Amino acid sequence: MKIELEELLAQALAKLAGAALNVEVDRRSIVVERARDAQHGDYASNIAMRLAKAAGLRPRELAGAIVAALPASPLLARAEVAGAGFINFHLASAAQFEALRRVLEMGERYGTSNAGRGRRVLVEFVSANPTGPLHVGHGRQAAYGATLSNLLRATGHAVQREYYINDAGRQVDILTASVWVRYLQAAGSTLPFPQNGYRADYVNAIAASLRALRGTTLEFPAAAVLAGLPADAPAGDKEAYIDALIAKMRALLGAAGYAAVLELALEAMLADIRADLAGFGVEFESWFSERALARSGAVERTLARLHELGQTYEQDGALWLRTTTHGDSEDRVLVRANGAQTYFAPDLSYHMDKRSRGFELMIDVWGADHHGYIDRMRAGLVALGQPGASFEVCLMQFVSLYRGEQKIPMGKRDGQFVTLRQLREEVGNDACRVFYLMRSHDQHLDFDLELAKSRSNDNPVYYLQYAHARVASVMKQLAARGLAYDAAEALASLARLDGPHEAAIITALRAYPDTIALAAVNRTPHTLVHQLRELAQAFHTWYNAAQFIVDDSATRNARLALAQGVQQVLRNGLALLGAGAPDSM
RNA sequence: GCGCCCGUAGCUCAGCUGGACAGAGCACCGGCCUUCUAAGCCGGUGGUCGCAGGUUCGAGUCCUGCCGGGCGCGCCA
């Protein structure tokens, strides 16, 4: 609709070009927007104000000339000059109802487009270390990544969702050692628990399954384990201690024994994470293992490629990447003086792998604390010959949990945090998904458990679902009264929908596809929540003001058509948000 | 010190990529269930959009500088 109106404006301006107007007009500068206020009609353009100065005319004068030059169109009831020089468009009523017709015709496809033209996009999100259960912060990233993926799909992108498993780093070794110490302690060992270990309950659970699997075969006396180890904190260094403990564990159990514990711990954690996400309705097409990447030699190949390209240098025994030449604030280490790679090396290699799999665009969803890593990654990719624009990061600000006024503290290592699973069980999946998404991702989120549970306007998910259920209920009542919906009569009687409430709803229905498109392009799912809220509000207002099941069949069917249009769009929107659309509540 | 995010009604936040009088929910006050779900609706109270400059016909929105809050700046992950 916008485009049609812009075309009309372009024609009017072309007509004026010779006479009244002596400036060149770029077609792209002709923009029509939805009017914010119903009094301003349905659409508005500021083109006259933009061109007035260059044309040497007063904005209202120019606007008047443009309106006069507008070609006749069946879309338009009238166009008028308003305010400082706006051109307001009032749609013809047939064009008004076109939106409703389209909703009913397209059904669940209403709101989709092929704007993305099949562009291949990889959305990587959550990617939490498999060293513990997901917490509420991961939940936000999960909800965001899932809905962003849905939005991109709805706008014609070929999306793949991926979870990167950091299963090669030191954190996994720390988890492995933690499990082993718990396993020993469970058999009565006096071995102290490392200060830097993972001390939450799930570690005990894995230790118990280790015992069930291996019996006593992995047991060693505490004295044997502690022999030669440095002091742990607070007397000593907790980092040095845990590293020594891990080395000792390897020595005592042997490579195979150590690997067995590690595999068990990793699989247990991953199984938990997968189940949690699946339970949350968040699916991934691929789970990408860092270890597999490392074993394939890909990281070495990436390093070699950087060397070939002359992007690296050695200094103080370490291998550095010249990221400063590509916009980073300082150069970065790829391989430390002790020969170990930093995380930067496999991360770069991983993103090159994404590119090699044919993804034009890589969208990473990261926690806000990683923002300092963005320039580094992009610079590294550019150094490898990739376009900087192929890599994009959506930063998620933090989540604070409240129970009413009370802030819930969130420690990590000590296990004193609320898990995503606990949150879902307490609040429910639908409320979680929408609560997570109702705020802009670059806004810090206060998640109040009491609010999220309350069945009121506090939580928009109920408001949206309630509107959906009300329509279902009306249709049930219709059947109960022995009546049937007549689609043909409805479509022939849309002119009966002539009140302000109906107009407000139709405006909201028409806005929906624009909202989807904008939310996808700007990576802002929260705007969808707000738009659906406006639609639901318009519907609730109408519901209270008018009766649907009336005697006059033309009016009845027209109203039922509009109600079902609302229901359809709510269902579509809730699906994108990952929430259900119940028929009764 | 440098970098990123935020600062809008008592509280939590929108503000459609500069436009027409600044919006919503909660809270507070007052109304609406013999009719399709009151998890709802209607009305009212409430704001120098952190402060100061600048750009523009027009600034909550863009630029600069302050002030305040969060986060990040390792050969950690």
The SS3 call for residue A74 is coil
Lowest mean pLDDT among A170-184, A446-460, A510-524, A530-544: A446-460
The nucleotide minimizing the C1' distance to residue A88's CA is: B20
Q: Do A90 and A180 reside in the same domain of the chain?
A: no
Whether A389 sits with its Cβ under 7 A from any strand B atom: the answer reads no
Write out the DSSP string of A24-69.
---GGG--EEE-SSGGG-SEEE-HHHHHHHHHTS-HHHHHHHHHHH
Whether A508 sits with its Cβ under 7 A from any strand B atom: the answer reads no
Query: In this structure, are strands A286-289 and A158-165 parallel, antiparallel, or unpaired?
Result: parallel
Q: Do A84 and A189 reside in the same domain of the chain?
A: no
- What mean pLDDT do residues A494-508 have? 93
Q: What is the mean pLDDT of chain A?
A: 92
Q: What confidence category does residue A219 fall into, taking pLDDT thresholds of 50, 70 and 90?
A: very high
The nucleotide minimizing the C1' distance to residue A372's CA is: B72
The answer to whether A501 and A541 are in contact (CB under 8 A) is: yes
Q: What confidence category does residue A84 fall into, taking pLDDT thresholds of 50, 70 and 90?
A: confident
Question: Is-above-0.90 flag for pTM?
Answer: yes
Residue A123 lies in a domain: no
Please check the confidence at residue A264 and state whether its pLDDT lies above 80.
yes
Residues 322-341 of A near strand B (Cβ < 7 Å)? 329, 333, 336-338, 340
Q: Which amino acid is at A60?
A: R
Provide the positions of strand B that have an atom within 7 A of a protein CB. 2-6, 12-17, 19-21, 24-26, 32, 35-42, 56-58, 69-77
Whether A470 sits with its Cβ under 7 A from any strand B atom: the answer reads yes
Nearest Cα neighbor of A517 from A150, A115, A145 is A115
Lowest mean pLDDT among A12-26, A209-223, A248-262, A345-359: A12-26
Which residue bears the tokens 């034009």?
A360
Residue A49 lies in a domain: yes
Residue A145 lies in a domain: no
Residue A537: CATH number of its domain = 1.10.730.10
Q: Separation of CA A312 and C1' B30 in angstroms?
A: 73
The nucleotide minimizing the C1' distance to residue A342's CA is: B75
Whether A477 sits with its Cβ under 7 A from any strand B atom: the answer reads yes
Q: Which residue has the higher pLDDT, A223 or A95?
A: A223
Q: What confidence category does residue A40 fall into, taking pLDDT thresholds of 50, 70 and 90?
A: confident
Residues 125-184 of A near strand B (Cβ < 7 Å)? 129, 166, 169-171
Residue that terminates a domain, selected from A68, A96, A124: A96
The nucleotide minimizing the C1' distance to residue A168's CA is: B77
Tally Cβ neighbours within 10 Å of residue A519: 25
Whether A350 sits with its Cβ under 7 A from any strand B atom: the answer reads no
Q: Separation of CA A189 and C1' B15 in angstroms?
A: 61
Residue A79 lies in a domain: yes
Whether the predicted interface score ipTM is above 0.90: yes
Residue A384 lies in a domain: no
Residue that terminates a domain, selected from A44, A68, A96: A96
Q: What domain range includes position A38?
A: 2-96
Cα–Cα distance measured from residue A577 to residue A437, given in angstroms and rounded to the nearest whole number: 8
Q: What is the largest CA-CA distance in chain A?
A: 98
Residue A77: CATH number of its domain = 3.30.1360.70
Q: What is the pLDDT of residue A524?
A: 95
Q: Separation of CA A215 and C1' B52 in angstroms?
A: 72
Whether A487 sits with its Cβ under 7 A from any strand B atom: the answer reads no
Q: Which residue has the higher pLDDT, A474 or A236?
A: A474
Q: What is the pLDDT of residue A455?
A: 67
Q: What is the pLDDT of residue A261?
A: 97
Residues 15-44 of A near strand B (Cβ < 7 Å)? 33-37, 39-40, 44
Cα–Cα distance measured from residue A312 to residue A374, given in angstroms and rounded to the nearest whole number: 19
Q: Separation of CA A394 and C1' B37 in angstroms?
A: 40
Mind listing the pLDDT tens digit for each residue in A360-404?
999 999 999 999 999 999 999 999 999 999 999 999 998 988 877
Q: What is the pLDDT of residue A29?
A: 76
Residue that terminates a domain, selected from A261, A279, A297: A279
Q: Do A466 and A568 reside in the same domain of the chain?
A: yes
Q: Which residue has the higher pLDDT, A492 or A52?
A: A492
Query: In this structure, are strands A318-321 and A332-335 parallel, antiparallel, or unpaired?
Result: antiparallel
Cα–Cα distance measured from residue A141 to residue A472, given in angstroms and rounded to the nearest whole number: 33
Cα–Cα distance measured from residue A125 to residue A442, given in angstroms and rounded to the nearest whole number: 16
CA A139 to chain centre: 11
Sheet holding A332-335, edge to edge: A312-315, A318-321, A332-335
- What mean pLDDT do residues A320-349 have? 94
Q: Separation of CA A314 and C1' B39 in angstroms?
A: 65
Q: Separation of CA A348 and C1' B2 in angstroms?
A: 25
- What mean pLDDT do residues A154-163 have? 98
Residues 80-109 of A near strand B (Cβ < 7 Å)? 82-86, 88
- The dihedral of CA A199, A201, A203, A208: what is its sign? positive
Which residue bears the tokens 């904005």?
A59
Whether A547 sits with its Cβ under 7 A from any strand B atom: the answer reads yes
Mind listing the pLDDT tens digit for each residue in A267-282?
999 999 999 999 999 9
Q: What is the pLDDT of residue A410?
A: 67
Q: What confidence category does residue A169 fall into, taking pLDDT thresholds of 50, 70 and 90?
A: confident
Q: Separation of CA A395 and C1' B71 in angstroms?
A: 11
Cα–Cα distance measured from residue A222 to residue A183, given in angstroms and rounded to the nearest whole number: 12
Cα–Cα distance measured from residue A532 to residue A317, given in angstroms and rounded to the nearest whole number: 58
Residues 294-323 of A near strand B (Cβ < 7 Å)? 315-318
Q: Do A192 and A89 reside in the same domain of the chain?
A: no
Tokens standing for residue A19: 């006479």
Q: Provide the CB-side half-sphere exposure for A10 (13 A, CA).
A: 13
Q: Which residue has the higher pLDDT, A416 or A441?
A: A441
Please check the confidence at residue A16 and state whether its pLDDT lies above 90.
no
Write out the DSSP string of A387-417.
-GGGEEEEEEPPEEEEETTEEEP--STT--S
The answer to whether A394 and A363 are in contact (CB under 8 A) is: yes
Q: What confidence category does residue A177 fall into, taking pLDDT thresholds of 50, 70 and 90?
A: very high
Residue A299 lies in a domain: no
b/e map A441-458, b = 16+ CB within 10 Å? beeebebbbebbeeeeee
The nucleotide minimizing the C1' distance to residue A584's CA is: B37
Q: What is the pLDDT of residue A412?
A: 52
Q: Separation of CA A537 and C1' B42 in angstroms?
A: 13
Please give the sequence-ordered ranges of beta strands (E in DSSP) within A195-317, or none if there are none.
Answer: 286-289, 312-315
Tokens standing for residue A499: 């009140």
Residue of least CA–C1' distance to B4:
A371
Whether A356 sits with its Cβ under 7 A from any strand B atom: the answer reads no
Residue A165 lies in a domain: no
Q: What confidence category does residue A580 fall into, taking pLDDT thresholds of 50, 70 and 90?
A: very high
- Number of domains within chain A: 3
Q: What is the pLDDT of residue A515?
A: 94
Which residue bears the tokens 């990061």?
A393
Q: What is the pLDDT of residue A416?
A: 56
Residue of least CA–C1' distance to B26:
A458
Q: What confidence category does residue A483 fall into, taking pLDDT thresholds of 50, 70 and 90?
A: very high
Residue A493 lies in a domain: yes
